[in-house]
Amino acid sequence: MSVRKLKPVTPGQRFRVVNGFDAITTDKPEKSLLAPKKRTGGRNSQGKMTVRHRGGGHKRRYRIIDFKRDKHGVAAEVKSIQYDPNRSAFIALVEYKDGEKRYIIAPNGLQVGQKVMSGEKAGPEIGNAMVLSQIPLGTIISCIELRPGQGAVMARSAGTFAQLMAKDGKFVTIKLPSGETRLILANCTATIGAVSNSDHQLLVSGKAGRSRWLGRRPRTRPVAMNPVDHPMGGGEGRASGGHPRSKNGIPAKGFRTRSKTKDSNRYIIERRKK
């Protein structure tokens, strides 16, 4: 995977860094795995804005992703690696022996023609989905379940991965991308390998218009607002804004918002880094 720095032929392309898309093998999605995707523009069912800075953007269709990997013991061949407008990672189209096609989150290094499998028969190879209790210690994993059969919820975005640190009874210890170390049930499923498109963090939009294509509207700096609009607004001259906080007054930059009585706190061995 690589990135390309464009020549500064226009102001918008002067600092633009785009994905090389070396791993992408086709730009035609599988029609049977497409679904319509409605956009809310940050409005609720009453039409009131509940989330700021959303709206517009290019029309998208949702790619139905197999997060559960529940077709066990059947080998599937990777047919193509594709771009997905709904996520930062690339996706892989796999076809099982019985002809069924599914999309999965593509791990780094997955190649067209490679075979992937899930279940007890699968080995610890790139793209295979296995139960955590069967994965060797120290293995790099991604697309991790939090509850058995729930489907992958952790380490799904571009370039992310977790590491299996220890096994103890019905729990395993996993170090997550955030730096948090926590216990997860050993009968949860995870995919071997890190998520694809690790160069995603190097991309530079180059112009404000590209954020609009992605459905993000402009954001006004809180220190530029009036006191009635934001806790950090107002002041004589160019005031710095005081203590950083959200529009609702919740402090930012280090203030912990996680509930001290949350039931899953007992599974966290080490908190994520600040």
Model pLDDT for residues 227-255, shown as the tens digit of each residue: 999 999 999 999 998 999 999 999 999 89
54, 44 contact by CB (below 8 A):
no
Contacts of 101 (CB under 8 A, 6+ apart): 30, 32, 33, 79, 93, 94, 95
Dump pLDDT digits (tens) for 156-166: 999 999 999 99
Q: What pLDDT digit, counting tens, does each position of 67-100 carry? A: 999 999 999 999 999 999 999 999 999 999 999 9
pLDDT value for 1: 66
Rounded Cα–Cα distance for residues 63 and 85 (Å):
9
28 with 116, same domain: the answer is yes
CATH number at residue 228: 4.10.950.10
- Upper half-sphere CA count for residue 61 (Cβ side, 13 Å): 10
Contact status, residue 154 vs residue 189, Cβ threshold 8 Å: no
Percent of the chain residues past pLDDT 90, beyond the cut: 96
Same domain assignment for residues 137 and 243: no
- The amino acid occupying position 98 is D
pLDDT in the model for residue 171: 97
Give the pLDDT mean for 14-26: 94
Joined tokens for residue 42: 């940050």
pLDDT of amino acid 274: 67
Instruction: Please check whether residue 137 lies inside any domain of the structure.
Output: yes
The answer to whether position 214 is within a domain reads no
Instruction: Say how many domains are in the chain.
Output: 2
Q: Within this chain, do residues 228 and 192 fall inside the same structural domain, yes or no?
A: no
271: in domain: no
Residues 127 and 246 in one domain: no
**pLDDT tens track for 127-155:** 999 999 999 999 999 999 999 999 999 99
Q: Could you tell me the residue range of the domain that residue 236 belongs to?
A: 224-265
CA-based torsion, 81, 129, 86, 12: positive or negative:
negative
